């Protein structure tokens, strides 16, 4: 198996492939990893095993039943290893979620037989340029392309909708009172900042380290806090979670402003 795949993940994938071959022979024609594993930033505590499975036919009800059984077996054996992905046709690759015919999607321990894959242009770019083939052709040879200008435009829209909500929508802002929310939002918005500045895509951890080198020191406490959480270190620069959340909101507003300036 590919050397970039962490050993604990290799065990999960080996068992997955054995079960697929046993329960659904000929069903799987491609299996690709994207996300943190492809970006060489897999974190056993926070990261999912993000995958795109390319299948030989549209799923029938009996296929879905067998996929559910496979994922249930894996979840029992590997309760801390979270697979997350979609079962698509070759012609679906590179398409937006709105265009793709609803297909089985596995996320948070649930297989949705008619899910809508969360496959934006960032996902397709990472798959095409950094993806790892477990089964099938090399990702660079897959029959789709990603237009970088369209990707940046999609990212800019995401910046000013989803990420902006962390500065003005109470439900999103409340996430920032938790450790999970701090590492998710602070490092997540920094991934966009990195892309706007470097015309490339990196991991959450990579974006945090980049920001420490390029953003004013007044923001280093909140960035370091997010990195510490991501790395499962307990140290914090803030006595109160409320004050940390307020600082995170200020920081996210600042990063959005900088990204919009660079767009």
Q: How confident is the model at residue 237 (pLDDT cuts 50, 70, 90)?
A: confident
Residues 26 and 115 in one domain: yes
Q: How confident is the model at residue 232 (pLDDT cuts 50, 70, 90)?
A: confident
Burial of 191 (0-12, 13-18, 19+ CB in 10 A): buried
Distance in angstroms (rounded) separating the CA atoms of residues 193 and 87: 31
Domain residues for the domain of 219 are: 148-262
Residues 177 and 199 in one domain: yes
- Are 7 and 44 within 8 A, CB to CB? no
Residues 82-111 have a mean pLDDT of 89
Residues 40 and 102 in one domain: yes
Residues 219 and 189 in one domain: yes
- Residue 98 confidence (pLDDT) above 90: no
Containing 207, the helix (H) or strand (E) segment is: helix 204-214
Total number of residues shown for the chain: 263
Q: How confident is the model at residue 183 (pLDDT cuts 50, 70, 90)?
A: very high
Residues 28 and 120 in one domain: yes
Return the pLDDT at 179. Answer: 93
Residues 59 and 157 in one domain: no
Residues 126 and 159 in one domain: no
Residues 16 and 133 in one domain: yes
Label residue 256 left, alpha or beta by phi (over 0 means left) and psi (-120 to 50 means alpha): alpha
Return the pLDDT at 117. Answer: 77
Give a yes or no: residue 224 inside a domain.
yes
């Amino acid at each position: 198996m590919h050397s970039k795949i962490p050993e604990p993940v290799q065990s999960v994938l080996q068992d997955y492939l054995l079960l697929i071959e046993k329960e659904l022979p000929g069903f799987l024609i491609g299996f690709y990893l994207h996300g943190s594993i492809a970006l060489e930033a897999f974190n056993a505590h926070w990261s999912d095993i993000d995958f795109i499975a390319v299948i030989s036919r549209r799923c029938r009800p009996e296929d879905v039943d067998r996929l559910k059984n496979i994922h249930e077996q894996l979840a029992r054996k590997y309760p801390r290893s979270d697979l997350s992905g979609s079962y698509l046709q070759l012609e679906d690759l590179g398409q937006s979620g709105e265009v793709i015919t609803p297909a089985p999607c596995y996320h948070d321990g649930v297989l949705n037989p008619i899910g809508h894959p969360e496959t934006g242009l960032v996902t397709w770019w990472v798959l095409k340029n950094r993806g790892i083939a477990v089964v099938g052709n090399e990702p660079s040879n897959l029959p789709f392309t990603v237009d970088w200008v369209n990707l940046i435009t999609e990212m800019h829209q995401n910046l000013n909708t989803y990420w902006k909500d962390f500065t003005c929508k109470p439900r999103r802002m409340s996430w920032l009172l938790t450790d999970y929310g701090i590492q998710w939002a602070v490092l997540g918005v920094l991934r966009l900042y990195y892309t706007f500045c470097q015309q490339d895509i990196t991991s959450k951890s990579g974006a945090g380290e980049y920001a420490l080198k390029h953003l004013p020191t007044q923001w280093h406490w909140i960035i370091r806090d997010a990195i510490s959480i991501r790395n499962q270190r307990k140290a914090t620069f803030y006595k109160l979670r409320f004050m940390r959340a307020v600082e995170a909101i200020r920081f996210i507003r600042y990063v959005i402003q900088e990204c919009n300036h660079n767009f």
